[in-house]
Amino acid sequence: MIELKTPAEIQRMHVAGRFVAEVLSEVGRLADVGVNLLDLEHHVRGMIERRGAESCYWDYAPSFGRGPFRNVICLSVNDAVLHGLPHNYTLRDGDVLSADLAVSVDGWVADSARTVVVGTAAEEDLRIIRATEEALEAAIEVARPGNRLGDISAAIWAVARDYGYPVNTEFGGHGIGRTMHEELHVSNKGRAGRGLTLRPGLTLALEPWFARTTDRIVYDADGWTIRSADGSRTAHSEHTIAITEDAPLVLTRRESENPATRADSASRLSAKDA
Ligand code: MG
Ligand code: MG
């Protein structure tokens, strides 16, 4: 059953969302050359404990994992893109780091992910990060009452196509609320005008992720970390949003984010030229 949230419940999710945003901002600041993934995970663990929040990843044991997961954040480097298991790895200049975090505060969950470059950025890495961020903003833009779930998928797919990135359909967005994964799968590829009609109170995690030159994935021996099958670099951007009578509400927006600039058509053009 799809549970529509009341405005009061959405406000409670927003509390969780603000905390997730704060942690991901901190991860972005800390991710630097010479930093070990285990130390980064430990730092986030401390933030979650001090906040009295609960990690949605700790003890998470889905069918595909060699679970249970004993970390509070997913950290995926370079060709790794989803469910990256924090391990003894020291970040190097030019690495691409995707951080994905879901926590529960007072029984309500928010889930968000971002990708950053460590040290010196290669233009092609910035480009794929920008593509996932633009796809996310395009998806949020159409998350309005009366539109369909397929409009969200189509919006993500259109940006991927513009950039020339293939889209994997095995992992995508999802319903969210009292738990990390609620009913509804939001594919990153789909047709406009199809699927569920969006209604106020619907809360979703939208999460475009792309690999540069493949839509296929492979799993590490750890049973968690998912990589691009051809080793090409990847990026992942995710926000938890609420559909309202008015504009969609982004519950995990980071203070430093400026979606207006990013959606700017000039930067979009230069990105495509790159
Ligand atoms: Mg996530
Ligand atoms: Mg998610």
How many A from CA of 238 to the centre of ligand 2? 7
- The stretch 2-13 carries a mean pLDDT of 97
Peptide bond into 259 cis (omega under 30): no
Given a cut of 70, is residue 268 above it in pLDDT? no
Contact predicate 173/188, CB 8 Å: yes
Summarised one tens digit per residue, pLDDT across range 68-101 is 778 999 999 999 999 999 999 999 999 999 999 9
How many A from CA of 201 to the centre of ligand 2? 18
Residue 217: CB atoms within 10 A of its CB come to 18
Q: What is the CATH number of domain 7-253?
A: 3.90.230.10
Which pTM was predicted? Answer: 0.93
- The pLDDT confidence band at residue 157, using thresholds 50, 70 and 90, is very high
How many A from CA of 228 to the centre of ligand 2? 18
How many A from CA of 224 to the centre of ligand 1? 14
How many A from CA of 235 to the centre of ligand 1? 13
Distances (CA, A) of 213 to 103, 193, 228: 32, 28, 9
Buried b (16+ CB within 10 A) or exposed e, 258-274: ebeeeeeeeebeebeee
Question: Of the bound ligands, which one is closest to the alpha carbon of residue 101?
Answer: 1
Summarised one tens digit per residue, pLDDT across range 170-200 is 999 999 999 999 999 999 999 999 999 999 9
- The stretch 46-75 carries a mean pLDDT of 86
Summarised one tens digit per residue, pLDDT across range 221-253 is 988 999 999 999 999 999 999 999 999 999 999
Question: Of the bound ligands, which one is closest to the alpha carbon of residue 171?
Answer: 2
How many A from CA of 149 to the centre of ligand 2? 16
Given a cut of 90, is residue 262 above it in pLDDT? no
How many A from CA of 205 to the centre of ligand 2? 5
- The pLDDT confidence band at residue 260, using thresholds 50, 70 and 90, is low
How many A from CA of 113 to the centre of ligand 2? 8
Given a cut of 60, is residue 273 above it in pLDDT? no
Tell me what the pLDDT averaged over the chain comes to: 93
- The domains of the chain are located at 7-253
How many A from CA of 272 to the centre of ligand 1? 27
- The stretch 59-66 carries a mean pLDDT of 75
Summarised one tens digit per residue, pLDDT across range 121-140 is 999 999 999 999 999 999 99
Percent share of the chain, pLDDT over 70: 93
DSSP state of 28: H
Distance CA 122, CA 197 (A): 40
- The pLDDT confidence band at residue 271, using thresholds 50, 70 and 90, is very low
How many A from CA of 108 to the centre of ligand 1? 15
Distance CA 153, CA 141 (A): 12
**Minimal CA–CA distance to 193: which of 157, 159, 149?**
149
